[in-house]
Structure 1
Amino acid sequence: MEIKQLKALVTVAEAGSVTRAAELLHLVQPAVTRQIHALEHELGVPLFERTRHGMRLTEAGSSMAERARRVLDELERAQAEIRPTPNHVTGIVTVGLLESTLGILAEPLVKAVTGEHPGIELRVLTAYSGHLRQWLDDGDLDLSLLYNLTNTPSLHVRPLIQEKLWAVAPPAAGLDPRHPIPFEQAAAQPLIVPTAGHGLRILIDRAVARSDVRLTIVTATNSILLQKKLVLAGCGWTILPAAGIADEVGRGLVSAAPLRDPEISRSIVLGAPRTARRSAAVDVVTREIVRQIRSAVRRGNWPSALLDSAEDDRES
């Protein structure tokens, strides 16, 4: 089994055709076909179904392609780490960010890492906490922000901040960040909420159980961006972490206030696999994530967030 065969497998799988894969690999089409056939012969199973609409992975092919991607990614990372670059930390670091934190963290994190450490290639993926945790467990991420998680056998978790959830409404509702509103008041409004199973929805449902109120749900979605867009369009209120709507509140596009009775909050942590060897590049990015979060909280850019007590102790 050769690296070029794995590259051919992954490229054909992603492109959906041998012709397109050959263009991407800068090879002639028969060469790519030979590599796929050689790999199928060695494994003893077909990896693709040839259809009128292109090349479609078989079940065995899907399994092989997933592992081939990881092999190729690890080789690329190893090359980046050991490539001689005087006076620079080098390597590829893949970071997971919660969707609700992108507005506060993504830009300053990327600017800081690329500006101060040009030898590091930073890859940023975003998803819900559950998906990010799965990607950490699968080895697809080096680090990730998660929430409401403690140490597990597979993950080391560093608590960073506690933040409150806010009611978010059109400007005419007149919500004021300085004056928390009862959860019951928000629950009575037409609500755009996360879909069942989403981490934020779980927190909201727990508050419902504690307060014995009923939600007035008009729409459920798996997109925080869509939640905000629907509020901006006047379709109802929503409930989000303060970090996710700080920019819109600052520009007066929405009104928002923390919730009380009960207060709803989440703990944001930084997770990393226990078994993975930590490269110098991963250590650099870890420090930068923590630094950017501390800075955002202390400058007031992360509303109603408090540094975890252990994090405060580390800094002092």
Structure 2
Amino acid sequence: MDLKHLTALVTVSETGSVTKAARLLRVVQPAVSRYIRALEDEVGVLLFERTPQGMTLTPAGEILVERARRALLELERARAEIRPDRQHVQGIVTLGLLESAAELLAGPLLESVGRQHPGIDLRVLSAFSGHLQQWLLDGVADMSLLYDLASPPSISTTPVLRESLWAVAPPGTVVADDGAVPWGSLGRQRLVLPVEGHGLRTLIDQALHTAGVEPTITCQTNSMLVQKKLVATTGVWSVLPAASIAEDVATGRLAGGRLTGPEVSRTIVLALQRGIRVSPAVEVVAVEVVRVMRRLVGSGAWPTAHVVAQPG
């Protein structure tokens, strides 16, 4: 398969239009159409449905686009890694960040990597732990932060820190005199929580059960941003990891405090695939991720988090 053809395939799938793809690729529209037809002739199936609304992938097209995108990314990584530069480690590194930690970690990490390793093209993906784990297994991400869920044998994890869960309250709320919020007090509040089946929701349900609380749940969502928005505007409370609300509490956009009785925390691990070559670029970014996380804990910017001591 020709790389120009695969590039055209991915670009048309992303834009939904041959015309837009041609503009992005800086070629004439008939050329893009020829590339797509050549691929369809080669694989023997239609890759797109041509409709008045645009180009829509067929099931076969979706499969080929997924594989083509990975192949093009691997080639791009190889080019970046072998490009001559005696002064800097270089290459493309795709890092998965937990949605709950991205707001706190992304800025300092990008600044640190850019300063220490200017030859690295760092790309950041953000999602829940389950999605990040799948992206790591699929090769979409080179490494990822995950919660300490059961991981398959193909993933190697290094614990980095433990963080507490916090009660999240509307701005201006005095959650507790000493900053600690008993789980039992959540029984008096209307709550917005993650959807059932989410790893965080499982922890919350276990803690509420231990505390003997029958919660009043007014909304369930798979979006942390929706949780925070509803708390800020509707008077409900929620439960989130400390990192996800640290800046909001510091600026007064939300109120919050560490949940106690029982103490509930989660371990964040740095995960990589086992058995694959780890490039120098991935190695130095992994070191930088751990260094920045520890610095945030040490400075107090990551509240109620504790660094996990490494053996040896």
Shift of 1:202: 1.5
> 1:41: which partner in 2?
41
Is 1:262 aligned to 2:256, yes or no? no
Q: Which amino acid aligns with 1:302?
A: W
Q: CA RMSD in A?
A: 1.5
> 2:282: which partner in 1?
282
Preserved contact between residue 128 and residue 199 of structure 1 (Cα < 8 Å) = no
Q: Tell me how far apart the structure 1 counterparts of residues 272 and 40 of structure 2 sit (CA, whole Å).
A: 36
> 2:56: which partner in 1?
56
Shift of 1:171: 3.9
Shift of 1:149: 2.8
> 1:202: which partner in 2?
202
3-state SS, counterpart of residue 86 of structure 2: coil
3-state SS, counterpart of residue 252 of structure 2: coil
> 1:213: which partner in 2?
213
Q: How many residues are treated as equivalent by the alignment?
A: 312
Shift of 1:181: 2.1
Cα deviation, 1:120-167, whole Å, max 9, x if unaligned, reads: 000001000010011011110011111023553110000111111011
Q: Which amino acid aligns with 1:141?
A: A
3-state SS, counterpart of residue 164 of structure 2: strand
> 1:306: which partner in 2?
306
Shift of 1:226: 1.9
Q: After superposing the two structures, state which structure 1 stretch, 43-52 or 284-293, moved more.
A: 43-52
Q: Tell me how far apart the structure 1 counterparts of residues 241 and 221 of structure 2 sit (CA, whole Å).
A: 16
Q: Which amino acid aligns with 1:219?
A: C
Preserved contact between residue 101 and residue 244 of structure 1 (Cα < 8 Å) = yes
3-state SS, counterpart of residue 240 of structure 2: strand
Preserved contact between residue 150 and residue 157 of structure 1 (Cα < 8 Å) = no
> 1:75: which partner in 2?
75
Preserved contact between residue 154 and residue 274 of structure 1 (Cα < 8 Å) = yes
Preserved contact between residue 149 and residue 269 of structure 1 (Cα < 8 Å) = no
Q: Which amino acid aligns with 1:37?
A: R
> 2:226: which partner in 1?
226
Q: After superposing the two structures, state which structure 1 stretch, 20-29 or 73-82, moved more.
A: 20-29
Q: Tell me how far apart the structure 2 counterparts of residues 128 and 182 of structure 1 sit (CA, whole Å).
A: 26
Q: TM-score under structure 2 normalisation?
A: 0.96
3-state SS, counterpart of residue 204 of structure 1: helix
Q: Tell me how far apart the structure 1 counterparts of residues 55 and 39 of structure 2 sit (CA, whole Å).
A: 15
Shift of 1:72: 0.4
Q: Tell me how far apart the structure 1 counterparts of residues 164 and 130 of structure 2 sit (CA, whole Å).
A: 19
Is 1:66 aligned to 2:43, yes or no? no
Q: Tell me how far apart the structure 2 counterparts of residues 174 and 272 of structure 1 sit (CA, whole Å).
A: 41
Q: After superposing the two structures, state which structure 1 stretch, 211-220 or 120-129, moved more.
A: 211-220
Preserved contact between residue 80 and residue 90 of structure 1 (Cα < 8 Å) = yes
> 1:131: which partner in 2?
131
3-state SS, counterpart of residue 79 of structure 1: helix
Shift of 1:174: 0.6
Q: After superposing the two structures, state which structure 1 stretch, 269-278 or 201-210, moved more.
A: 201-210
Q: Tell me how far apart the structure 2 counterparts of residues 233 and 181 of structure 1 sit (CA, whole Å).
A: 21
Q: Which amino acid aligns with 1:18?
A: V
Preserved contact between residue 145 and residue 271 of structure 1 (Cα < 8 Å) = yes
Q: TM-score under structure 1 normalisation?
A: 0.94
Preserved contact between residue 92 and residue 281 of structure 2 (Cα < 8 Å) = yes
Q: Which amino acid aligns with 2:269?
A: V
The share of aligned pairs that are identical, in percent, is 53
Q: Tell me how far apart the structure 1 counterparts of residues 92 and 240 of structure 2 sit (CA, whole Å).
A: 32
Could you list the runs of 5+ residues in structure 1 that have no partner in the other structure? none
3-state SS, counterpart of residue 145 of structure 1: strand
Q: Tell me how far apart the structure 2 counterparts of residues 47 and 126 of structure 1 sit (CA, whole Å).
A: 29
